[in-house]
Amino acid sequence: MKPNRRKFLSKAVAYSGFAAGVPLNSAKLRKASDPTSHDPNGASAYSEREDQTNELGAQPTRADRKFVDVHVHITQPWNERGELTARNLLRWMDVHDIGQAWVLPLISPEAWYYPITTEFVLEETRPFRDRLIPFCVVDPRTDVFGGFKHFVDLLGRYKNAGARGFGEHKWGGAIDDPRNIELLKACGETGLPVLFHLDNDRNKDVPGLPGLERLLKAAPETTLIGHGPGWWASICGAATQRDLGGYPRGQVAKNGALDRLLGDYPNLYADLSAGSGHNAIRRDLDFGREFMIRNADKIMFGTDYLADKQAVNQFELFDELKLPVDVQQKIFRDNAHAIIDDE
Ligand SMILES: [Zn+2]
């Protein structure tokens, strides 16, 4: 560890109120040579050892697991909502044959019940970095002290501390707001792929997604990964403003914004997570299947898992779709590895 990284992390933890009271990592990683670390029934192997700490650290990753999940969260106890710890997330990943997951903080006021800070995500994933890939996030309204340069400096600090991407970006402004464009250009400059949520309240746009296209033109060096109701409603050529805030049903009209933008912009990708990703494919299975085959290099498996025992419809959907094996491999994990190579 470089001294500047250590310094940054200790500072980060000190000012992260939500990290307070959470035990910091003090445990050893399990050795890769442990024969049980390649046990396909990792979940049961884990539960037998629940009393030991952090033995999940060297579980199998890309070689023998089916999925990379590009969209999960760890959470803290909040009113009646329970927490989702890194350990419970890993146990769930084992059950579903997920080798790695991108763990996304949420800090904008419009994003979640409370801030899930970058510092918290960096700290909690630290013992499990071979499987849990931490992201960072910054709100565009942070730009009061220096614009692009300030953002590059801030993002560089998070990158040095271990962040591999940016998101879940879920701020309550327009997707092509000049502050947002500055921030996301800085992500490209820093080498952090951006996962954003688009609907009628966050990263706002209108049918056809012209605001997103302005961002794509302004930030060609930034990898952008779309998610959320507004993004996924735009699979349909007849999407309305109301659709961009919901879960529209029924047949999909051709020539949607997603086919066009995914085809035209090499830096644009799609995250299939959550009810919105599931609904977009489920509403018209024939169209959805063909959409995934023609955009096979651009679409990634994700769930948005964030609570113990949360129902996830994506697994059943993929069983039903029976995509060609090469398409499955790209969507299930290879595209994610192409964006974030962990080797
Ligand atoms: Zn999410």
Token reading at 183:
């921030």
Centre of ligand 1 to C-alpha 89, Å, is 14
Centre of ligand 1 to C-alpha 304, Å, is 5
Centre of ligand 1 to C-alpha 170, Å, is 9
CA 28 to chain centre: 27
Centre of ligand 1 to C-alpha 329, Å, is 23
Are 49 and 92 in contact by the 8 Å Cβ rule? The answer is no
Centre of ligand 1 to C-alpha 271, Å, is 10
237 DSSP 8-state letter = T
Centre of ligand 1 to C-alpha 167, Å, is 9
Centre of ligand 1 to C-alpha 134, Å, is 13
Centre of ligand 1 to C-alpha 202, Å, is 12
- Residues whose CB falls within 8 Å of the CB of residue 155, separated by 6 or more in sequence, listed in order: 136, 138, 166, 186, 187, 190, 192
What CATH fold (topology level) applies to the domain 68-339?
TIM Barrel (3.20.20)
Centre of ligand 1 to C-alpha 63, Å, is 26
Give the pLDDT of the chain (343 residues) as one tens digit per residue. Answer: 333 433 333 333 333 333 333 333 333 333 333 323 333 333 333 333 333 344 555 555 555 789 999 999 999 888 778 899 999 999 999 999 999 999 999 999 999 888 999 999 999 999 999 999 999 999 999 876 778 999 999 999 999 999 999 999 999 999 999 999 999 999 999 999 999 999 999 999 999 999 999 999 999 999 999 999 999 999 999 999 999 999 999 999 999 999 999 999 999 999 999 999 999 999 999 999 999 999 999 999 999 999 888 899 999 999 999 999 999 999 999 999 999 986 5
Domain ranges of the chain: 68-339
- Residues whose CB falls within 8 Å of the CB of residue 187, separated by 6 or more in sequence, listed in order: 151, 155, 166, 193, 194, 219, 222
Centre of ligand 1 to C-alpha 275, Å, is 10
Centre of ligand 1 to C-alpha 136, Å, is 13
267/265 Cα distance (integer angstroms): 5
pTM of the predicted structure, to 2 decimals: 0.82
Range list of β-strands (E), 93-229: 98-103, 132-136, 165-169, 194-197, 224-227
Centre of ligand 1 to C-alpha 228, Å, is 8
